[in-house]
Amino acid sequence: MTSHSVNSPQFFLTAPSPCPYLDGQSERKVFTHLVGQNAAAMNDLLTQGGFRRSQNIAYRPACEGCRACVSVRILAGEFRPTRNMRRVMARNSDLVASDYDAEPSSEQFALFRSYLDSRHRSGGMADMSVVDYAMMVEDTHVNTRVIEYRKRVEGDGILQQPAGPLIGVALTDMMSDGLSMVYSFFDTSLADRSMGTYMILDHIRRAQARGLPHVYLGYWVDGSPKMEYKTRYQPQEHLMAQGWQRYKP
């Protein structure tokens, strides 16, 4: 019988299932559990090795014959916004962002459901309940924060918690070398704000303010139009067979 140290993670492989990004392809994932006192350090190590976190699971693609999914991280210290990105930041200068412990709220869930119904009606998360959402936020053994974006209203400079309407939320892991954007959602009716772009730009700013070198965006999927936006934030690195390599668009 093989014995395993409690400090050594055990990895498992999922059965094949349809790929959500590329038609006609199937996907498999290798995963392990992030629990215990070493969870944060293990999450750092695995994220740097191309894994993503979902609740207390760290996973990465392990598809046979396909390497389209590529881990992406922005080099925050070198990042300079484009003219269009500066316009997005100016357009959202009336927002206030606050970060909290990883605790869900009914207001967050209402926005989350609206976002899924608008953008991911047929996706794998489409049937998530309020309990599922709470688990997504709370089931973490690492330093996870909820960042809320609200429209600034009179009195927000005095109140400890902003009172304006909630229009965006990011679930973010605070790592030793950067910020990992686990999941984000927003009010899709406010298309002119480009909230998806703004939240990434805000995370870059937060990483810069903390002297952290990276913002992890998850996977860029070569050939998937819905993932093209991730290559807009330059400079960035992609995790290749040789390690992290600067991406040249």
- State the pLDDT at residue 20: 84
- State the pLDDT at residue 4: 40
Residue 40 CA to residue 141 CA, distance in Å, equals 7
Placement of tokens 């994220």 in the chain: 47
Pair 150, 95: CB distance under 8 Å: yes
pLDDT, averaged in runs of 10, over the chain (249 residues): 55 92 91 94 96 96 92 98 98 95 97 92 79 96 97 71 89 98 97 97 98 97 88 97 93
Query: By CB neighbour count within 10 A (0-12 exposed, 13-18 middle, 19+ buried), where does 10 fall?
Result: exposed
Query: By CB neighbour count within 10 A (0-12 exposed, 13-18 middle, 19+ buried), where does 131 fall?
Result: exposed
User: Which domains, and CATH codes, for the chain?
Assistant: 12-68 (no CATH), 73-246 (3.40.630.30)
Task: Using the Cα atoms of residue 32, residue 35, residue 38 and residue 43 in order, give the sign of their dihedral.
Answer: positive
- State the pLDDT at residue 3: 38
Query: By CB neighbour count within 10 A (0-12 exposed, 13-18 middle, 19+ buried), where does 249 fall?
Result: exposed
SS3 132: helix
- State the pLDDT at residue 206: 98
Pair 152, 95: CB distance under 8 Å: yes
pTM score, two decimals? Answer: 0.91
- State the pLDDT at residue 122: 65
Tokens representing residue 195 in the block: 């909230």
Question: Residue 97 contacts by C-beta under 8 Å, 6 or more apart in sequence?
Answer: 147, 148, 149, 150, 202
